[in-house]
Amino acid sequence: MLTAPPMSVVIPLYNKERHIARAIQSVLNQSYGDFELVVVDDGSTDGGAHVVEAISDPRIRLVHEENAGASAARNRGIAESRADLIALLDADDEWLPDHLETLRRLSAEYPNCGIYAMAYEVVDARGSRKVHGVFDGIPKSPWEGIIPSYFRSATDAYPVWTSAVAIPRRIFDSVGLFPVGVPRGEDVDMWCRIALKYPICYSTQVGAVYHKEADNRACVLNQVVKEHGFVKTIRDAARTGVLSPGVRRDALEYVAACQIELAGRSIMVGNPRYARLLLRSCHDTSRYTRSWCWLTLLAMLPPGWPASLRTVKRALWNLAGRRK
């Protein structure tokens, strides 16, 4: 029987032929090299799997399955992996050379945490790069340690991001795997479930690069989805009384922020009725009262006003262009 390595790396792969070699090479370039790399081909229809097969390294293992989505592929990779500490990487993103070494060290210094996360750099559609590492309640760089209040820090931005984390296997055994069949936010659901039970360790050192300009991004921003699954999870935990007053307050404000954001998205695609339902569910927010009031007013307008506004805006731009 093969000895399990200290760390496993899981990459879900679906139609990322142009990017998967970059992701894998960033793993092979790590300063910490005692790992296995499990790539799960989620029924790709391009040549991504062939790119993986062409890379010769005994640490790489390619697993094939029928297309079932990113969560199912991650779950399969977790099941196939052998290490006690599992790092995640999306097929179109990449790591900086010290990423695994830092996560490994954090797990040794803060052994009781549920997630070990690092700051990350975002590359947008225009190729601009920006470090994503400033969050409410987290000290400025350089800093590492346990986030004082995950839900407060995560309200306006995401300190925990899929390609910049490592999670102990025991945590998956405790809270479960990624939810399958969720069109958006399945990773956020996982972080919330973990944060309700365990401390979150974070380093302001940049460890990964998030390529938002890559092909076939899974996130579709103009798509309205049902209420996030973690909303019920957080509210159930708040009702049971197991959360401290501070955690309960920050967690419910986090839910309010998510509901308000989804209500705004619903209004913009012409579904104010659903927006009103979402807004009623978080009417008692104290941190986002202004946003809640504005969206409540906008949700009372006729459903077609966002489309009409976009039409007028396009007409004005066209008119301005003809007058140049």
- Judged by DSSP in three states, 313 sits in helix
Unique residue bearing structure tokens 């290490």: 83
Question: Model pTM?
Answer: 0.87
Q: What stretch(es) of the chain map to CATH 3.90.550.10?
A: 7-211
CB atoms within 10 A of CB 75: 21
Per CATH, is 7-211 categorized as 3.10.105.10?
no
| Terminal-residue alpha carbon distance, the chain | 74
Q: What is the pLDDT along the chain (324 residues), one digit of tens a residue?
A: 578 999 999 999 999 999 999 999 999 999 999 999 999 999 999 999 999 999 999 999 999 999 999 999 999 999 999 999 999 999 999 999 999 999 999 999 999 999 999 999 999 888 888 887 778 889 988 999 999 999 999 987 889 999 999 999 999 999 999 999 876 778 999 999 999 999 999 999 999 999 987 655 554 444 555 777 788 888 888 888 888 888 899 999 999 998 999 999 899 888 999 999 999 999 889 999 999 999 999 999 988 877 777 776 676 666 565 544
Structure tokens at 31: 């300063």
Rounded CA Rg of the chain = 21
DSSP states of 115-166 as a string? EEEEEEEEE-TT--EEEE---TTSPPSS-EEE-S-HHHHTSSS-S--GGGEE
3-state secondary structure of 283: coil
What is the Cα 156 distance to its own chain's centre?
Answer: 13
**How is residue 75 written in tokens?**
């779950």
